[in-house]
């Protein structure tokens, strides 16, 4: 498979530097990729209108006209698969990374030791998108990519699987369904499993997901959930 990677930063020297780190990483991991470079969010979005098949985006935040957070929000309106890696000189926007489901948030200066593990994770996530579960509904058997699942809710003998494309209902125990998932999912309540990649906000009592839905956290689970989110980022 050939991947498509974008670097977007108004500092051209930073764009070239990141490309110089990416090139050996691709070679070491025997990965084929096209690298496209952009000096503004506007130029990236212009291409994105006709080329929505980008896989990884290395994105600066502080840019004129449209900043990186605004760019990411535009993309996330329809695309949840793009692996967004913020690379910035500021800590101020860390919480905004949750809002756009950023893969990671790196502080400049970036080196191979910081970037390589994050790129590895991005590739693993992209490969993971190919994994699916097959569920039986009243109308048909449906194949659902794991990466499309936002959360799962138990309702009596049924579970409701909330995805980016709608809700699917099947007669399966929540615990049994959990066995088909990986460590990007966490059971946060006896009736709820969430995908950590879709969490926007956490409080002591609940999680707000990028869909706007609010899921309760069991009493005493806050630290476990919070730690899992930090590890996932």
Q: Which domains does the chain have, with CATH numbers?
A: 2-128 (3.40.50.2300), 132-232 (2.40.50.1020)
Res 81: pLDDT: 82
Question: Which helix (H) or strand (E) covers residue 146, if one does?
Answer: none
Backbone angles phi, psi at 197, to 5 degrees: -70, -15
Please, which residues have CB within 8 angstroms of residue 141's CB and are 6 or more apart in sequence? Answer: 134, 135
The one-digit pLDDT tens for each residue of the chain (233 residues) are 688 999 999 999 999 999 999 999 999 999 989 999 999 999 999 999 988 889 999 999 989 999 999 999 999 888 888 999 999 877 665 555 566 888 888 988 899 999 999 999 999 888 766 678 888 888 888 888 888 899 999 999 999 999 988 999 999 999 999 988 888 899 999 999 999 988 989 999 999 998 899 999 999 999 999 998 887 76
What's the confidence (pLDDT) of residue 129? Answer: 67
Greatest Cα pair distance in the chain: 58
| pTM of the complete model | 0.62
pLDDT at 118: 94
């Amino acid at each position: 498979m050939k991947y498509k990677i974008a670097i977007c930063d108004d500092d051209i020297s930073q764009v070239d530097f990141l490309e110089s780190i990416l090139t050996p990483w691709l070679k070491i991991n025997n990965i084929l990729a096209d690298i496209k470079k952009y000096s503004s969010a506007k130029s990236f979005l212009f291409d994105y209108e006709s080329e929505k098949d980008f896989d990884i985006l290395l994105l600066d935040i502080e840019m004129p006209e449209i900043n990186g957070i605004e760019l990411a929000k535009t993309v996330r309106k329809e695309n949840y698969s793009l692996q967004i890696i913020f690379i910035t000189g500021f800590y101020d926007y860390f919480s905004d990374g949750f809002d756009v489901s950023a893969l990671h948030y790196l502080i400049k200066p970036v080196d191979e030791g910081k970037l390589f593990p994050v790129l590895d994770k991005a590739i693993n996530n992209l490969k993971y998108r190919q994994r699916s579960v097959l569920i039986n509904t009243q109308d048909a058997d449906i194949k659902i990519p794991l990466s499309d699942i936002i959360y799962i809710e138990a309702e009596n003998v049924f579970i409701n699987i909330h995805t980016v494309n709608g809700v699917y209902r099947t007669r399966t125990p929540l615990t049994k369904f959990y066995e088909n998932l990986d460590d990007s999912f966490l059971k946060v309540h006896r009736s709820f499993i969430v995908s950590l990649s879709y969490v926007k906000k956490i409080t002591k009592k609940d999680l707000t997901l990028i869909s706007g839905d609010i899921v309760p956290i069991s009493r005493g689970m806050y630290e476990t959930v919070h730690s899992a989110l930090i590890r996932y980022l």
